[in-house]
């Protein structure tokens, strides 16, 4: 393998051009996913062999243009311009050449070694469209190969072309796109000036630089500005801008883009003959039902509900298997590893920690399979279209809706779905408000508290109220963050509504698997480390005094002849529970609980509630079991009547405290796993810190208000 | 130039050339006394989003906004018209993009340049955004983005006449 020569190939193309399917067809399962350095845009890479060569294929993110508008465009352009791949395959949707060729002409501008894959050619044939490929190759100046990922045609020929271009068996077609005389004049002047800078020209093609300078490209401006040629370049640029403004009442950017579109329209007019459209297309018919004025919203709501149900109801089944497997593994390890610190670290720390990571996998896989399906069919863009008005009112984007709904299940996958938001401020805002959508793990806490402190008839209303309160805080926060922190910066809603298509099963499963792999690789390791740390903090240090005291008590009880067997056992288990409770108070977590007691006192919480909030940072499920431990009850769940009695018997636990506690649990820092995923997705410590402070700050303020205001009535 | 009456500025003088909409709307318009070829002057004291006050053959009548969009009129003057003012089914041609910065950049890249023909496909269920067809593909825009795109009318959509076939079409 290693002695073979490697050809570096990049796949570039519009979103929805079938680029990912083509990538899967080219490299099969021989692919891996990573992240482009510094940004959370996925990087797909695969290897295939042909004609004695190793062909390494990079699937660049889908873009409409080679500007620096979104992270996807920046990555694509940077890779193409700076890494200079041996061959660039431009995947175009052959049923929509007008839009797809816009990118093609820009790829020609950067002088890429270009092969155009006229993808979805099977649809072209079935629509009875005729494309004069030879003529099109001549006009645009690039090799063109009809391909189809449905029947696999053209894939071999594509590989053949890659190798032939690399070995020089066939030549790259070069045909620069000519603009009008006025523009060409200035492009030439700029090229002449730029060519005097040898260093700049060895890295970049001067004509491309000239064109980009004329369209006001910020990055190219920055690039040229640091060079001595800038003085001359600047003179030409201000001249051209003045001239165009005076003579044509226009600017070079507008003229260039208009001419580019006009050139494409002309080329297509000459080479493509379309069969007259008689009946409505399938897409039009489906759209007239799915996004119709009357049925659009109900169908949208149904789809969202269905995704949620499938993810969290269906996901619960494998989650149970995973949980019981890890319980079994823990029990089994108990029998084979001798008692001691090592056993306790392995069983309660590592096995429980790994289990805590893997347990999210079914949710992530099902959710992303469902989302990949909606995305692949083309409904996802429509979903954003339908709900955008509501979301925009709160400064959000239509695409923010799905992450928010997912947040009701679990924040971890919800953060991962925000990747569909291209604008960073939209994305960070959405991520910051996701934890306010009350996740599934918080539910048992509400059931316990509401069920304990309020009568049956009220408990349901309170549960509903808590969820509603979360949504309210989320929407207000979004508006606040958008206006105060981001000053209204948001992505314009200029979005393609692609034709409906049936995605291939392969593509769906690859996408699902990639998400799962990303989660395990990126977040899993840190989550594991953190859970071990939290486990250590709640079990250490151990007080030998407490240990010795209870050992003595237990020994005394065992030798107490006045007690019968049953009474002895009862007393011993009581001692053990008390010991556990006192040990947790002595541990790091217990000490933090006491330390923060003054902070949570204004909310009406005693140190016990404080400790359960601290352990709740590990996972919200632990809040209830911590209460069990701390109130010396051993293993409990939210329906435990013993725990309810203990909670009620504490005089400081009143109804206002109960309400404030639920509000605090709803709003404060979500679990460690989701915080780590937040960090991984936001790729910023600053934002992760803000996330922690913001959620917990809001939680404190709201709990304080709820405690004091409800105290007046209850 | 032909326009919908609802898109004509106050004070303009126009001639009615076509009444569209379903039979209900047609009857409504006829009962107001509207006939093809009638000369109409839009009153200047029009409320911002209320009904249109119109001098029809010297008589002042008030026509609701929805109904007035079903009256196609002709004028010698050119009135400003944006994409946001078109109705589902209308076909128009881009004359100018008025936005700046990122939005303009994106619109131009997506092919919304002078001279391109657009079909207004539909409005979202809540009225915003809007879906259009250009160069053989569908694009959606928010209304405030569509407001920055000046267009001239090519063809008026059947505007409700289709509704007789059923609400789902």
Provide the 3-class DSSP secondary structure of residue A87: strand
Looking at the DSSP bridge assignments, the partners of residue A7 are A55
B67 and B104 assigned to the same domain: no
pLDDT at residue A252, rounded to an integer: 87
Topology annotation, domain A5-167: Rossmann fold (3.40.50)
Contact with chain B for residue A106, Cβ under 8 A:
no
B89 and B69 assigned to the same domain: no
Task: Give the N- to C-terminal CA distance of chain A in Å, as an integer.
Answer: 76
B67 and B112 assigned to the same domain: no
| B125 falls within a domain | yes
Q: What is the mean pLDDT of chain A?
A: 87
pLDDT at residue A688, rounded to an integer: 95
Which of A366-380, B4-18, B33-47 shows the lowest mean pLDDT across its residues?
A: B33-47
* Residue A258 to residue B113, Cβ atoms within 8 A: yes
B70 and B106 assigned to the same domain: no
Q: Tell me which chain A residue has its CA closest to the CA of residue B94.
A: A258
* Residue B124 to residue A102, Cβ atoms within 8 A: no
Residue B163's pLDDT band, with cuts at 50, 70 and 90, is very low
Helices (H), ranges, A601-682: 607-615, 622-630, 641-649, 655-667, 672-682
Provide the 3-class DSSP secondary structure of residue A91: strand
Find out whether A431 and A418 touch, Cβ atoms under 8 Å. yes
Looking at the DSSP bridge assignments, the partners of residue B151 are B94
* Residue A494 to residue B102, Cβ atoms within 8 A: no
Which H or E run includes B74?
strand B71-74
Contact with chain B for residue A297, Cβ under 8 A:
yes
Distance CA(A463)–CA(A470), nearest Å, equals: 11
Residue B120's pLDDT band, with cuts at 50, 70 and 90, is very high
Per-residue pLDDT of B63-74, as tens digits, reads: 887 788 888 888
Domain range for B61 is 2-74
* Residue B140 to residue A494, Cβ atoms within 8 A: yes
* Residue B139 to residue A496, Cβ atoms within 8 A: yes
Give the list of residues 6+ apart from residue A49 with CB closer than 8 angstroms, or none.
A4, A55
**CATH number of the domain residue B117 falls in:** 2.30.30.90
Q: What is the mean pLDDT of residues A632-656?
A: 78
Check whether the bond before B129 is cis (ω within 30° of 0): yes
* Residue A389 to residue B127, Cβ atoms within 8 A: yes
Per-residue pLDDT of A251-270, as tens digits, reads: 888 889 999 999 999 999 99
Find out whether A512 and A372 touch, Cβ atoms under 8 Å. yes
| B129 falls within a domain | yes
pLDDT at residue B105, rounded to an integer: 84
B9 and B45 assigned to the same domain: yes
ipTM summary value = 0.86
Domain count, chain B: 2
Bridge-based pairing state of the strands B117-123 and B130-134: antiparallel
B147 and B90 assigned to the same domain: yes
**Percent share of chain A, pLDDT over 70:** 97
| B164 falls within a domain | no
A641 vs A406, higher pLDDT: A406
Contact with chain B for residue A262, Cβ under 8 A:
yes
Residue B164's pLDDT band, with cuts at 50, 70 and 90, is very low
Chain B contacts of A257, Cβ < 8 Å? 108-109, 113
| B160 falls within a domain | no
Q: What is the mean pLDDT of residues B27-33?
A: 77
B88 and B61 assigned to the same domain: no
Contact with chain B for residue A251, Cβ under 8 A:
no
Distance CA(A72)–CA(A41), nearest Å, equals: 7
Q: What is the mean pLDDT of chain B?
A: 82
Find out whether A108 and A140 touch, Cβ atoms under 8 Å. yes
Indicate whether A608 pLDDT > 60: yes
Chain A contacts of B129, Cβ < 8 Å? 385, 388-389, 398, 493
Domain ranges of chain A: 5-167, 181-273
Distance CA(A497)–CA(A391), nearest Å, equals: 18
* Residue B169 to residue A296, Cβ atoms within 8 A: no
Indicate whether A132 pLDDT > 80: yes
Topology annotation, domain A181-273: Helix Hairpins (1.10.287)
How far does A419 lie from chain B, in Å, by closest CA? Answer: 20
| B161 falls within a domain | no
Residue A356's pLDDT band, with cuts at 50, 70 and 90, is confident
B66 and B91 assigned to the same domain: no
- Residue that terminates a domain, selected from B74, B98, B129: B74
Residue B138's pLDDT band, with cuts at 50, 70 and 90, is very high
Check whether the bond before B136 is cis (ω within 30° of 0): no
- Residue that terminates a domain, selected from B74, B91, B112: B74
pLDDT at residue B167, rounded to an integer: 44
| B166 falls within a domain | no
* Residue A99 to residue B111, Cβ atoms within 8 A: yes
| B37 falls within a domain | yes
- Residue that terminates a domain, selected from B74, B94, B120: B74
pLDDT at residue A636, rounded to an integer: 67
Looking at the DSSP bridge assignments, the partners of residue B140 are A495, B131
Long-range contacts from B20-26, C-beta under 8 angstroms, 24+ separation: B20/B70, B20/B72, B20/B156, B20/B158, B20/B159, B20/B160, B20/B161, B21/B67, B21/B70, B21/B159, B21/B160, B21/B161, B22/B160, B22/B161, B22/B163, B22/B164, B23/B164, B25/B67, B25/B70, B25/B160
Contact with chain B for residue A452, Cβ under 8 A:
no
Per-residue pLDDT of A272-316, as tens digits, reads: 998 887 778 889 999 999 998 899 999 999 998 888 788 878 888
Distance CA(A427)–CA(A432), nearest Å, equals: 9
Taking a contact as any Cβ pair under 8 Å apart, which residues of chain A between 11 and 70 contact chain B? 64-65, 67, 69
pLDDT at residue B43, rounded to an integer: 65
B149 and B99 assigned to the same domain: yes
Per-residue pLDDT of A624-633, as tens digits, reads: 877 777 776 6
Give the list of residues 6+ apart from residue A679 with CB closer than 8 angstroms, or none.
A685, A688
Q: What is the mean pLDDT of residues A103-116?
A: 92
**Selected residue of B121, B138, B168 to mutate for chain A interface (largest A Cβ count, 10 A):** B138
pLDDT at residue A663, rounded to an integer: 96
How far does A72 lie from chain B, in Å, by closest CA? Answer: 14
Chain A contacts of B168, Cβ < 8 Å? 288-289, 292, 294-295
The reported pTM is 0.83
How does DSSP assign A295-336, residue by residue? THHHHHHHHHHHHHHIIIIITHHHHHHHHHHHHHHHHHHHHH
Per-residue pLDDT of A683-710, as tens digits, reads: 889 999 999 999 999 999 999 999 999 9
Indicate whether A523 pLDDT > 70: no
Per-residue pLDDT of A23-76, as tens digits, reads: 999 998 888 887 777 666 788 999 999 989 999 999 999 999 988 777 788 889
Q: What is the mean pLDDT of residues A627-654?
A: 76
Chain A contacts of B166, Cβ < 8 Å? none
* Residue B106 to residue A262, Cβ atoms within 8 A: no
Chain B contacts of A283, Cβ < 8 Å? 138
What is the dihedral sign for C-alpha A653, A655, A657, A660?
Answer: positive
B45 and B104 assigned to the same domain: no
| B47 falls within a domain | yes
How many CB atoms are located within 10 Å of the residue A463 CB?
19
How many CB atoms are located within 10 Å of the residue A494 CB?
20
């Amino acid at each position: 393998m290693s002695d073979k020569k490697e050809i570096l190939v990049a796949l570039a193309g519009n979103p929805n051009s079938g680029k990912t399917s083509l990538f899967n067809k080219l490299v099969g399962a021989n692919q891996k996913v990573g992240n482009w350095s510094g940004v959370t845009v996925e990087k797909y890479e695969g290897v295939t062999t042909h004609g004695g060569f190793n062909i390494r294929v990079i699937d660049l993110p889908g873009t409409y243009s080679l500007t620096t508008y979104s992270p996807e465009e920046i990555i694509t352009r940077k890779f193409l311009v700076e890494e200079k791949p041996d061959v660039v395959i431009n995947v175009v949707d052959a049923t929509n050449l007008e839009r797809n060729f816009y990118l093609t002409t820009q790829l020609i501008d950067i002088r890429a070694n270009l092969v155009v894959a006229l993808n979805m050619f099977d649809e072209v044939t079935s629509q009875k469209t005729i494309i004069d490929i030879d003529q099109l190759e001549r006009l645009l100046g690039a090799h063109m190969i009809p391909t189809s990922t449905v029947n696999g045609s053209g894939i071999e020929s594509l590989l053949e072309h890659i190798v032939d271009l690399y070995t020089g068996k066939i030549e790259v077609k070069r045909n620069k796109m000519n603009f009008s005389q006025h523009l060409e004049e200035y492009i030439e002047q700029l090229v002449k000036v730029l060519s005097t800078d040898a260093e700049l020209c060895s890295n970049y093609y001067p004509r491309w630089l000239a064109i980009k300078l004329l369209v006001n490209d910020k990055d190219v401006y920055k690039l040229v500005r640091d060079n001595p040629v800038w003085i001359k370049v600047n003179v030409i640029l201000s001249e051209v801008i003045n001239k165009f403004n005076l003579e044509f009442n226009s600017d070079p950017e507008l003229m260039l883009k208009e001419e580019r579109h006009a050139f494409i329209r002309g080329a297509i007019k000459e080479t493509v003959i379309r069969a007259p459209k008689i009946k409505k297309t399938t897409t039009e018919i489906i759209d007239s039902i799915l996004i119709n004025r009357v049925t659009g919203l109900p169908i949208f709501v149904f789809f969202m509900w269905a995704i949620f149900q499938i993810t969290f109801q269906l996901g619960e089944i494998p989650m149970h298997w995973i949980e019981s497997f890890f319980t079994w593994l823990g029990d089994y390890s108990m029998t084979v590893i001798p008692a001691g610190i090592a056993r306790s670290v392995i069983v309660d720390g590592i096995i429980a920690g790994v289990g805590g990571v893997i347990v999210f996998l079914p949710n992530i896989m099902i959710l992303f399979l469902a989302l990949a399906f909606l995305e692949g069919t083309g409904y996802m863009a429509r979903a954003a279209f339908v709900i955008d008005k509501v979301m925009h009112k709160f400064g959000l984007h239509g695409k923010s809706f799905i992450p928010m709904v997912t947040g009701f299940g679990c924040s971890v996958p919800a953060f991962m779905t925000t990747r569909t938001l291209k604008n960073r401020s939209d994305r960070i805002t959405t991520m910051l408000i996701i934890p306010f959508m009350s996740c599934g793990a918080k539910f048992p806490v509400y059931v316990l508290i509401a069920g304990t402190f309020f009568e049956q008839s009220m408990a349901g209303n309170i549960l509903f109220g808590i969820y509603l309160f979360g949504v309210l805080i989320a929407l207000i926060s979004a508006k606040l963050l958008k206006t105060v922190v981001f000053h209204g910066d948001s992505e314009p809603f200029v979005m393609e509504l692609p034709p409906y298509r049936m995605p291939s099963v392969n593509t769906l499963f690859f996408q699902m698997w990639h998400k799962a792999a990303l989660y395990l690789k990126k977040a899993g390791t840190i989550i594991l480390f953190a859970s071990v740390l939290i486990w250590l903090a709640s079990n250490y240090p151990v007080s030998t005094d407490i240990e010795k005291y209870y050992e003595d008590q237990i020994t005394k009880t065992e030798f107490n002849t006045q007690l019968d067997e049953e009474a002895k056992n009862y007393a011993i288990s009581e001692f053990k529970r008390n010991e556990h409770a006192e040990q947790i108070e002595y541990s790091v977590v217990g000490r933090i609980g006491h330390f923060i007691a003054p902070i949570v006192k204004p909310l009406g919480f005693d140190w016990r509630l404080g400790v359960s909030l601290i352990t709740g940072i590990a996972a919200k499920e632990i809040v209830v079991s911590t209460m069990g431990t701390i109130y010396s009850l051993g293993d409990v769940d939210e329906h435990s009547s013993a725990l309810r009695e203990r909670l009620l018997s504490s005089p400081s636990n009143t109804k206002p405290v109960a309400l404030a506690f639920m509000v605090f649990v709803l709003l404060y820092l979500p679990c460690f796993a989701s915080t780590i995923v937040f960090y991984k997705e936001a790729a910023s410590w600053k934002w992760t810190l803000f996330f922690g402070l913001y959620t917990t700050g809001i939680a404190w303020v709201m709990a304080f208000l709820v405690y004091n205001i409800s105290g007046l009535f209850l | 130039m032909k326009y919908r009456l609802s898109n004509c500025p106050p004070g303009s003088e126009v001639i009615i050339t076509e009444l569209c909409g379903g039979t209900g709307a047609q009857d409504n318009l006829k009962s107001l006394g509207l006939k093809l070829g009638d000369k109409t002057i839009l009153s200047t004291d029009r409320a911002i989003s209320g009904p249109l006050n119109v001098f029809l053959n010297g008589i002042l009548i008030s026509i609701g906004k929805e109904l007035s969009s079903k009256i196609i009129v002709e004028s010698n003057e050119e009135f400003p018209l944006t994409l946001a003012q078109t109705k589902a089914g209308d076909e128009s041609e881009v004359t100018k993009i008025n936005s700046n910065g990122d939005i303009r950049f994106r619109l131009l890249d997506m092919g919304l340049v002078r001279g391109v023909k657009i079909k207004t496909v539909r409005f979202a269920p809540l009225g915003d955004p809007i879906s259009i067809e250009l160069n053989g593909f569908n694009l959606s825009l928010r209304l405030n983005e569509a407001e920055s795109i000046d267009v001239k009318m090519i063809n008026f959509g059947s505007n409700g006449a289709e509704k007789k076939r059923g609400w789902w079409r």
